[in-house]
């Protein structure tokens, strides 16, 4: 199996034997450097809405913008070159903002997701003022902030990334908020989600609706670095929050009338996470991901949209 896998990778022409030494790729006999956007021996994380993998070959996983190294049964993602004592950075994504202006690799599915709309009020209408308030509060604490649209910068690197959304159950019956994070990423994502969840629940009084966390959340495209180059770095702790149900009169009214409370709760959670998690933890070590056999069938060019 190991010989077959090595041969497959060689055929893909992504081999340049190397290991990471102080940020440089130094050739060795037992390591393979994979450049950004080239295929990786990983089972790609599927997006909601992908064709049935049993009937259609799933897209191949690709190395993130910083590249990767294959060695000793794992895919090693080199730690980023970043000032561990530098200014902290937070990315706040306004979900569904500018969905028509996205890179080709996202495909049409994400372009078509314009978000919930109830009584003429959209998700973007609700989350934009909250994002702006969050940015002001964080910048007052000396933190750099990026307010991001649907398109995520390639390999987006930050101390925190949070995607703001609001849900719609179609009936107005459900209430509460939901959160999720992905896998195959920084080990600190669960801490980020838990900290924000606790501060948000305490400040807003909204119940946490764990039973309705969807695959669209756990498989959120912005976290899927193996599928998209325009995604958060594997080292960026990332989470998505459905702030409440836009379809619920009480939830919608709270998000609109108490945007300051919503923003403050999210910021308090982010600040608590940053205080407990220095950059030396976030960015101080390589990320190791167990590798898997490459899928059968032709491998698309790294520039071919999925």
Q: Give the model confidence (pLDDT) of 189-231 as tens digits.
A: 999 999 999 999 999 999 999 999 998 899 899 999 998 999 9
How far apart CA 194 and CA 200 sit, in angstroms, is 10
Q: How many residues does the chain have?
A: 306
pLDDT at 3: 38
252 pLDDT exceeds 60?
yes
pLDDT at 14: 33
Q: What does pTM read for this prediction?
A: 0.84
Q: Which residue has the higher pLDDT, 112 or 258?
A: 258
141, 164, 208 from 202: Cα distances, Å: 22, 18, 10
Q: What is the mean pLDDT of residues 165-193?
A: 94
Q: Which residue has the higher pLDDT, 60 or 170?
A: 170
pLDDT at 109: 82
Contact 98, 302 (CB under 8 A): no
Taking each helix axis from N to C end, the angle separating 259-276 and 249-257, rounded to the nearest 10 degrees, works out to 70
Share of the chain above pLDDT 70, in %: 80
Q: Which of 22-26, 30-34, 138-142 has the highest mean pLDDT?
A: 138-142
297 pLDDT exceeds 60?
no
pLDDT at 49: 58
263 pLDDT exceeds 80?
yes
pLDDT at 101: 92
Contacts of 186 (CB under 8 A, 6+ apart): 234, 235, 236, 237, 238, 282, 287
Q: What is the mean pLDDT of residues 66-79?
A: 92
Q: Which residue has the higher pLDDT, 98 or 290?
A: 98
Placement of tokens 């080199």 in the chain: 78
Q: What is the mean pLDDT of the chain?
A: 85
63 pLDDT exceeds 90?
yes
Contact 224, 45 (CB under 8 A): yes
Exposure string of 270-297, with b = 16+ CB inside 10 Å and e = fewer, is bbbbbeebebeebbeeebebebeebbee
46 pLDDT exceeds 70?
no
Closest by CA to 96, choosing from 87, 86, 88, 106, is 106
Instruction: Kindly report the backbone phi and psi dihedral angles of residue 189, in degrees, each rounded to the nearest multiple of 5, phi listed first.
Output: -70, -35
Q: What is the mean pLDDT of residues 43-49?
A: 64
60 pLDDT exceeds 80?
no
**pLDDT grade, residue 7 (50/70/90)?**
very low
50 pLDDT exceeds 70?
no
Q: What is the mean pLDDT of residues 169-180?
A: 96
**pLDDT grade, residue 182 (50/70/90)?**
confident
How far apart CA 42 and CA 179 sit, in angstroms, is 26
Q: What is the mean pLDDT of residues 143-165?
A: 98
How far apart CA 2 and CA 129 sit, in angstroms, is 53
92, β-bridge pairs: 147, 162
């Amino acid at each position: 199996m190991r010989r077959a896998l090595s041969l497959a990778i060689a055929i893909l022409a992504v081999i340049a034997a190397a290991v990471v030494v102080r940020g440089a790729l130094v050739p060795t006999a037992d390591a393979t450097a994979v450049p950004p956007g080239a295929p990786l021996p990983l089972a790609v994380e599927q997006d909601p809405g992908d064709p049935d993998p049993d009937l259609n070959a799933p897209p191949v996983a690709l190395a993130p913008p910083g590249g990767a190294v294959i060695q000793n049964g794992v895919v090693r993602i080199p730690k980023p070159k970043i000032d561990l004592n530098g200014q902290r950075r937070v990315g706040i994504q306004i979900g569904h903002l500018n969905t028509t202006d996205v890179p080709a690799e996202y495909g049409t599915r994400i372009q078509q997701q314009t978000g919930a709309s109830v009584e003429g009020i959209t998700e973007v209408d609700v989350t934009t003022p909250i994002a702006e308030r969050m940015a002001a509060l964080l910048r007052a604490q000396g933190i750099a902030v990026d307010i991001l649209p649907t398109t995520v910068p390639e390999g987006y690197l930050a101390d925190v990334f949070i995607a703001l959304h609001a849900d719609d159950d179609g009936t107005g019956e459900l209430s509460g908020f939901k959160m999720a994070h992905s896998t195959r990423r920084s080990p600190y994502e669960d801490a980020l989600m838990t900290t924000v969840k606790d501060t948000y629940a305490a400040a807003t009084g909204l119940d946490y609706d764990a039973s309705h966390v969807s695959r669209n959340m756990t498989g959120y495209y912005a976290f899927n670095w193996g599928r998209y180059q325009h995604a958060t770095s594997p080292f960026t702790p990332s989470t998505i929050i459905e702030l409440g149900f836009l379809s619920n009169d009480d939830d919608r009214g709270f998000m609109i009338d108490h945007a300051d409370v919503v923003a403050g709760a999210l910021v308090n959670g982010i600040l608590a996470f940053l205080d407990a998690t220095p950059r030396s933890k976030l960015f101080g070590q390589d990320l190791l991901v167990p590798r898997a056999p490459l899928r059968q069938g032709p491998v698309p060019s790294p520039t071919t949209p999925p």
